Structure formats: structure tokens, C-alpha cells
Structure 1
Amino acid sequence: MKLHIINSNSDGNCYLFTDNKGETLIVECGVRFERIKQALKFNLENVVGCIITHEHGDHCKGVKDAVKAGIDVYATAGTIAGFRFIHHRFNPMTKGSIYKLGSFNIIAFDTHHDVNEPCGFLIKHEEMGTTLFLTDTIYCDYSFPGLNNVLIEANYSQDIIAEKLAGNRFLRNRVIQSHMSVETCIETLKANDLRAVNNIVLIHLSDRNSDAKIFKQRIEDATLKTVTVATAGLTIDNFNIHPF
């Protein structure tokens, strides 16, 4: 399995999972669709679908062009309503149900963000095992058995936000009431059985309220796992169920 990160911050989020047969699952569509086509070398034939966590533009701005291009989009009914247009390629997801997109099996679950019906995903595939995708949430209600890979938000740190946003209570409250801190990220990871986890990828870091180097070190120290900070254009070629 190959994981390609098109972008991962408040300007836009989009991740491509491509298996050895060439099937690609798009997770989040928060960049111009032209960037997604470029990353796929303008070949959309093997795209099995696109799954989206919520309706904010940095997660769905390319959705209109995606469905026009013939890609099926899966999200909760609340998220689909937030797109504010209707299309026959929208597929409403019920949380807890399994959706099969090509060789990928997807389960959506509740998260806590400032929109209607946001969700996270468990993504299962024989090549990468079970991957947790968790972003734009204050915390997670669940722990998950049998994880092999994790993409998780580490948006800000409590120390940085206390210093930088001390005089802006509105923005400070907006961040802490809608995103996951690195401290909560560590607590969430430690609440899960990480013995079989090969990769932890930190996503959606704030441009002003995070420190990628420090966050990476803190989570490596807490989990003793391989930690990668998601950056635009990064590809992880060995995003598999086994490390080699």
C-alpha cells in the first residue's frame, strides 16, 4: 500500500491510498480537484471512491468537480447536506456500517467537531490491515482493536496556544472546541493497543499553533513507534500491515 499526502493543514486536506493493483481510495477532498488529478496522473479509472469526514471547505472544496468527474463520494447524511447541492454520486453513510469500495472496507464513527454529523474512519485492506483516520475532533470516544496504521490530528499544543492566542479568546475557544491537541492525541494513542501499529502519521497540524519537530518527538517518546508528520507531496511507500 502507498499513502500519498496531497495536503494536510487548514488550507486543504487530501490523502490517496493506492494498493498494489492500482486501486485508489481518496480520503478527504479539500483541495482543488485538479491537484488530485495531477497526483493520479490524470487517470481516474482506478479510483474506487472518495470518503469525507465533514463539510468544511478544507475537507470538501473539490467535491463538486469530483462527482462531475464520475467519482462516488461517501459521507454522512449531515455532511452531504452541508455540501449544499444534490448529486446522484453522493452516498450517505450510516455510522457503524461497513462500506466496500473496491478492495477497501470502510466504517464511519462519531467525532466531535463544530458541524453536523462529522465522522472518523476505520479503513481496512488486506495490504495495510486496519488504519484509523481521525481528524477535526476534540477527542475520540472509542478505542480500536487490531490497528496497524494510524493517521491522527495533532493540531496544536496547549502551551503554544496559551502563549500565541492569549489575547484572542474567540479564536482560542474556536480551536480548542473543534480540534485535537497534541496532548489529547497522545492520550488517544495510548488508549489503543499499538503493538501491531507500523506507522503513526500526524495530520492537520496548525500553521501557527504547532511545532512539527517537537510534536513528532513527543509522540515517538510516548508510543515508541515510527512517527511521520504529514506534509504536502509526501509519499509513504510501505504503508502496510507488516513493516517490511
Structure 2
Amino acid sequence: MKYGIKCYTSDEVQERIETIYGEKTIGMNRMHVAKIGSFQVIPFQSPHNGTECDGFLIKHEKIGCLLFITDAEYCKYDFSKMGINHAMIECNYSEDYLDVEENQGKTNHVLQGHMELQTCKRLIQTINSLMLRSVGLLHLSSQNGNPERFREEIEELVDCDVDVWVAEKGIERELRLEPF
């Protein structure tokens, strides 16, 4: 943002952003379609420990329909009939990796602000269809997550043609409708 790149978010989040470097934020009405170039974007509220956060449903003729959700405990919306082609979804932690006694404050934030593996799996099951092309797992915890395990468990849920990947620094993914 400090480099003048336009950042799109919901009106609710935009109102709470403190301008430090002259950020250029553009607010969009939640649950309403906004056109950004050749993209259609619908922001929706994502529960994140009382903090305003958004997920986005993004449509484009070359990639189809992308569901993007991060910094969310869960998704309260049903996207099962939206024909999702690509999903980029937070899969932050697994409860069996949490050490609840180590740092209670941090643990509460994780539990109330980030998506657990089983919650992520339930969401992906609802959008799984023949139209689904890829699932990217985002915002994995370094202490409470396991990238390989998470990827394998998601792969078990979806068709073998669905590309399941874990976001890593420096890695780029091409999203397209056609598999080749």
C-alpha cells in the first residue's frame, strides 16, 4: 500500500484503515458486485475474532469463479451452487497440533480468528464439483499446521484432476478454466 497500489476492500474495512503512507483504498459494498477492470468481485464478511475481514468471490472470463477466504474462522455463506472453479482458502491449523496450555491468549486468537483443517475440509466439500479446478491452502501456521498432511487430506476430498497446493513464498500459480 505504501507504494500507491490500489487496495480494494469492503466499505466497512476501508473505514477502519488508518492512512499512514497515503494508501489508496477503495471500498466496495459487501454482498454487491463491483467491477474492477474485467473482474466482477463480491466482498463478503468473514468472521475473524471480532475484527472486520472479508472474503471475496471473484469472476473473470479466463479463470471462471474464484473463492478467496483468509483470516476467517469459518465461512457463513453457502457457495455450493456457485460453480466455483478455484478456491484459495485459509487452512491455518489442526486442533491436534495446538498446545492450549503454552500461550492461552494466542490460542484463543487462533481458535476464534483462523480456519481449522476440519472446517476447511467441510467448506471444500460444499464447493467440490466437476467444475472445481484448483484448491490453494493459505495462511498455514508454522507451529500448528502441517502443509503436507493438509494437502493430502484435501486431495482425498476432491476429484483427482483438482490441483491442490499449499501457498509458499515466491510460488506463483496459474488459474485457468481449461486443465491444459
State whether TM-score is above 0.5.
Answer: yes
* Structure 1: gaps (5+ residues): 1-62
109, 114, 121: which one aligns with 1:174:
109
- Residue by residue, what CA displacement relative to the aligned partner does 1:186-239 show, whole Å, maximum 9, x if unpaired? 0111122432011100000011110000000011012233210010111223x1
126, 130, 137: which one aligns with 1:202:
137
Q: Give, in whole Å, the separation in 2 of the partners of 1:85 and 1:173.
A: 29
Q: Give, in whole Å, the separation in 2 of the partners of 1:165 and 1:182.
A: 17
* Equivalent residues in 2 for 1:38-187, closer than 5 Å: 63=1, 65-67=2-4, 71-85=5-19, 89-144=24-79, 145-161=82-98, 164-187=99-122
Q: Give, in whole Å, the separation in 2 of the partners of 1:230 and 1:208.
A: 16
Contact 2:128 2:158 in 1 (8 A): no
Contact 2:6 2:25 in 1 (8 A): yes
Q: Give, in whole Å, the separation in 2 of the partners of 1:105 and 1:195.
A: 22
* Residue equivalent to 1:232: 169
Count of residues in Structure 1 that have an aligned counterpart in Structure 2: 175
Q: Give, in whole Å, the separation in 2 of the partners of 1:229 and 1:139.
A: 19
* Equivalent residues in 2 for 1:213-228, closer than 5 Å: 213-224=148-159, 225-228=162-165
Note the aligned Cα RMSD (angstroms): 1.8
- Residue by residue, what CA displacement relative to the aligned partner does 1:83-132 show, whole Å, maximum 9, x if unpaired? 21285832211111111111111110121013543110011111100000
- Residue by residue, what CA displacement relative to the aligned partner does 1:138-191 show, whole Å, maximum 9, x if unpaired? 111112211000000000001001xx3333222211100000011100011112
* Residue equivalent to 1:241: 177
- Residue by residue, what CA displacement relative to the aligned partner does 1:30-56 show, whole Å, maximum 9, x if unpaired? xxxxxxxxxxxxxxxxxxxxxxxxxxx
Q: Give, in whole Å, the separation in 2 of the partners of 1:141 and 1:193.
A: 17
Q: Report % sequence identity.
A: 33
Say which structure is richer in strand. 1
The structure with higher relative contact order (CA 8 Å, sep 6+) is 1
1:80: Cα distance to partner?
1.9
Q: Give, in whole Å, the separation in 2 of the partners of 1:195 and 1:126.
A: 18
Q: Give, in whole Å, the separation in 1 of the partners of 2:83 and 2:176.
A: 14
Name the SS of the counterpart of 1:105 in structure 2: strand
Q: Give, in whole Å, the separation in 2 of the partners of 1:73 and 1:136.
A: 17
* Residue equivalent to 1:29: none
Name the SS of the counterpart of 2:49 in structure 1: coil
- TM-score for the superposition, normalised by structure 1: 0.67
